[in-house]
Every structure is written in C-alpha cells, then in structure tokens.
Chain A
Amino acid sequence: MQAYLKYIAGRFLIFILMLCFTSSAPLADEVSEIRAMTKEKVDIVINILKDKSLSKNEKKEGILETIDGLFDFSLMARLSLGKKHWKSLSKAKRKEFSELFVERLKLSYLEKLDLYTDEEVVVDEARLTKKNRVEVLTYLVTKDDKKEMIYKLYKTKKKGWRVYDVDVLGVSIVQTYRSQFSGVLKKETMEQLMERMRSAGELGA
C-alpha cells in the first residue's frame, strides 16, 4: 500500500516535471517563429519594392499595411517621449502626440526605402534577450558593405510579438528620439515641440 502510493506520487512528479519541460520547449520554437515572422514581413516589403507593376502609392500602402502588423508604433511613441513627459500629458495630447510621431516614423521609414536599389536583406539569428524580449538580427547587404539592423520585439498581451525598437548600426531609433525630445523639452513647451513635428512632417511629405 505504502509502496503503491509512493509509486503513484513518483509517477505524478515525473508527469509534472515533464509538463514543465515540454512546455518550456515551445519557447525556443517561439523564437524561431518570431524570426520566421520577421523574415516573412521583411520579404513582403522587399517584394513590394521590387514589384515594378505597382505604382508608388500602391507600394506605399502595401508596405505600411505590412509593417503595421509588425511594429507597435504607439509603444514606440511612448518610449520615445519617455515616462516623465508622457505622464505629464493629458489624454488628448497623448493621442495627438502619438499620431504625429507615428506619422513621422512611417514617413521616415518610407523615405529610407526610397533609397532602396539592389540591397538584399538577410535575416540572421533571433535571440531571446529577456523573458519577453527577442532581437532579430538582420543585414542589409549591398555590393560594398553590410549594414546591421536589429529588430527588437516584445511579447504583447493580445497580438503576439511586436517590434518596439530598431537598431541601425548600433543606433537605436527610440533612444535617438528620446534624447532629442528631452533636449527640446528642456527649452520649449510640448506645444512647440508638436508644432515642430507637424511642420517637419509637411516638409517631408
């Protein structure tokens, strides 16, 4: 009887341990899935760029649609402004800032793609940096050199993994905006900053 109970208990312990191991395995799978997802999106963008039958506007729309499912733009807006400034804003202002920023970011991304000629994008490894952060290493390969681009993703609650920052040659987009915003906000008001962003957007468009 005693031995039998021990046997049962032992079996259950093994069962629980196995559960733990089998279900932590998908994490490694998840990382490769994230890599695959990033690669898929990047490939779609490249294919759109290469497609000569599309007009410039069609390309733009196609690309924006693709990256909308990959980037968490509003998180990028919040991170770029930083905790302190974000908290000081009213809800309406936050929304306005977020929209301006996202608009700007998208525009800048599209303009970068305008320089696209014959580059090849190589999606290298994906690595788990923290429990809910993954970095996907990519290279922009041209005839002369290789530029490193890192997509940094985090796990959202509902929409899976999304990009919250991109490092180009070690330069973080969010970090760069962060220091700029805080620099400007030392001298100017939020209203002036948004005015600047508005006019910059118009210039670029």
Chain B
Amino acid sequence: MQPHTSAIFTFFAIISFLLHPLMSNPASAQEKSPESFQMLSETETEEDTEDEEFDDGFEDEFENAEEEIFDPLSGYNSVMTEFNDGFYVYVLDPVARGYRWIMPDPARRGVKNFFHNLLFPIRFVNNALQLKPKNSGEEFLRFIINSTVGIFGIWDPAKEWFGLEAHEEDFGQTLGYYGVGGGFHIVLPFLGPSNLRDMFSLYPDMQMDPVYYVENRPYNFPRKEGEYLGLSRQTIQQTNLLLLKTVNRESLRIGQYENLKKDAIELYPFLRDVYEQNRAKLIEE
C-alpha cells in the first residue's frame, strides 16, 4: 500500500508540474508558441533572433500598408494641402499670434466658450440622432446653465460646477454611426482634411450654426449695403464672425500644428491618415 500511494503522489506531482506553466499564466504559455517566440525576444540586445521574424499577431494589429487606399483626388489633395499649409503658416498663424499678444487669455477663452455654446443645436440634434438621449439631455442642461449663469456662454459653469461635459457630435459622425463610410478623402480649401461624407455633412451642420443666421443690423459694419466688393452686408458680417472665431480658436492652440507636422514624412498622406483615424475613433465612441 505504501509504495502504491507514493507512486500516485509522484504521478500527480509530475502532472501538476507539467501542466502548471501551461495553465497558470496564459501570457507565458503564449510566449512558448513558435510564431510569437521570435517577436517577443528583446530587441535591444544584439541577438540573432532580433531581426529574423515578424510576429503575425503584431502584423494583424495594424492595417496592411500594402493595400491601396482609394484616393482619386490625391493630386488635387496634395496641392490643396500645400496651399492650406502655406495659408496657416504665413497668414493664420501670425495673425493668431498677434491676436494672442493683444487679447488676454481669459478673454480668448471666453470668446471660445461663447461660440462653443452657440453650437449647442448641432451637438443636441446629433446626439439625439445617434440615440444618445442622456448626452442630448446633458447638452440641453449645459446650454441652459451656461447661457444664463455662464453669461451667454462665456463661462462654462456647467462643467466646472456641475461636472457636465460637452458631447461633441456632428452630422458626419451621425452618418458614420449608421454605417455610412467616409468615401474618398477631400482636402477642402481653408477647412482642411475631410472626406465625401463629412463634406456633405457640413451643410446640415451649417443650418444649425447660429453664426449663419446673423441679421442685417444697420448700425453695424459695413455702413452701406454692397460697400466692399459688392458683398452683401450679411455676408461680410458673417465672415467677420467666422474670422474672429477662427483666429480665436487658433490663438489657443498655437504651435500644435507645427508640432504635429514634424511627424510627417510627406504632409498630405500624413494629414489624411491622422484625420481618418481620428474620425473613425470619434464615430466609434
């Protein structure tokens, strides 16, 4: 009896030792599998395995770079990217820097919040369309609080006191939510990277942007209708607001574009990629 029991004991002891490394930690078990073995080897040491093989697990995580991206407008897009880049570097950025120098920081923040608050309808409607009633409700509360307590939206007490964060959604994201693909990439003049879907989505969003509903005010600039280049007063007033909005926005993120650009080997494909990846992420949320 005695030898019998000890034989069983040994048997189980051996089994458990054999099974233990396999069952205990899936990660270490994974390392033992042949295809991931080479990739996981540390690379800083000058090992022979270092350069040999690619782990397919990693390759699958990233898009196949060999696949051709459907980009029929690539020629135009490259040129427009260069144009936008030049416009930013030589016009918008210097103007924004000057503006930053004149306007104190809290004022610029106030202007930004004011315009952001005005865009409430876009966020409200698109959250609702994406069946996110909670977000829509929060947006509604934010608008009420910030327009009153926050004095026309120049402060953001909804976030600071009540912890209500904005939920950025636009019509492009709504379409994406319902499975509409981006279509090919289009670089818009001044506005920058976009795609077929997002370009057409600008229109419905514009309909909800109060800046486009500025009324003719006789006491405002310009004094007479058609005084400058035959443009209507309304157009000029709208443009002024858009300029203020744009310059103000850029003044709060000076240096970021230049910084981003440094990761580019070729500007257009880089910006296209960044845009598309970012949009995909925003739609997914």
Interface of A toward B, CB cutoff 8 Å: 1, 5, 8-9, 12, 15-16, 19-20, 23-24, 26-27, 30, 72, 74-75, 78-79, 82-84, 86-87, 91, 94, 107-108, 111-112, 114-115, 130-132, 143-144, 146, 154-159, 164-165, 167, 169-184, 193, 196-197, 200, 204
Nearest chain A CB to B52's CB is how many angstroms away? 9
Give the chain B neighbours of A157 by CB distance below 8 A.
Answer: 31, 40-42
Cβ contact within 8 Å between A179 and B63: yes
Q: B16 near A: Cβ within 8 Å?
A: yes
Cβ contact within 8 Å between B256 and A171: no
Q: B269 near A: Cβ within 8 Å?
A: yes
Distance between Cα atoms of A111 and B262 in the complex (Å): 9
Cβ contact within 8 Å between B27 and A144: no
Cβ contact within 8 Å between B63 and A200: no
Cβ contact within 8 Å between B40 and A179: no
Nearest chain B CB to A133's CB is how many angstroms away? 8
Range, interface on chain B: 35 or more
Q: B112 near A: Cβ within 8 Å?
A: yes
Give the chain B neighbours of A20 by CB distance below 8 A.
Answer: 19-20, 23-24
B15, B24, B252 — which one has the most chain A CB atoms within 10 A of its CB? B24
Distance between Cα atoms of A115 and B252 in the complex (Å): 12
Cβ contact within 8 Å between B259 and A154: no
Cβ contact within 8 Å between A15 and B1: no
Q: Which residue of A lies closest to B69 (CB)?
A: A179
Nearest chain A CB to B115's CB is how many angstroms away? 13
Interface of B toward A, CB cutoff 8 Å: 1, 4-5, 8-9, 12, 15-16, 19-20, 23-27, 29-31, 36, 39-45, 50-51, 54, 57-59, 61-63, 65-66, 69, 109, 112, 165, 252, 255-256, 259, 262-266, 269-270, 273-274, 277-278, 280-282, 284
A108-B262, A159-B42, A204-B262 in contact; A79/B25 too (CB < 8 A)?
no
Cβ contact within 8 Å between A86 and B20: no
Give the chain A neighbours of B42 by CB distance below 8 A.
Answer: 156-159
Give the chain B neighbours of A146 by CB distance below 8 A.
Answer: 165
Cβ contact within 8 Å between A176 and B40: no
Q: Which residue of A lies closest to B26 (CB)?
A: A131
A131-B30, A183-B269 in contact; A175/B277 too (CB < 8 A)?
yes
Cβ contact within 8 Å between B24 and A24: yes
A132-B27, A164-B58, A183-B269 in contact; A115/B255 too (CB < 8 A)?
yes
Nearest chain B CB to A173's CB is how many angstroms away? 8
Cβ contact within 8 Å between B51 and A180: no
Distance between Cα atoms of A112 and B263 in the complex (Å): 10
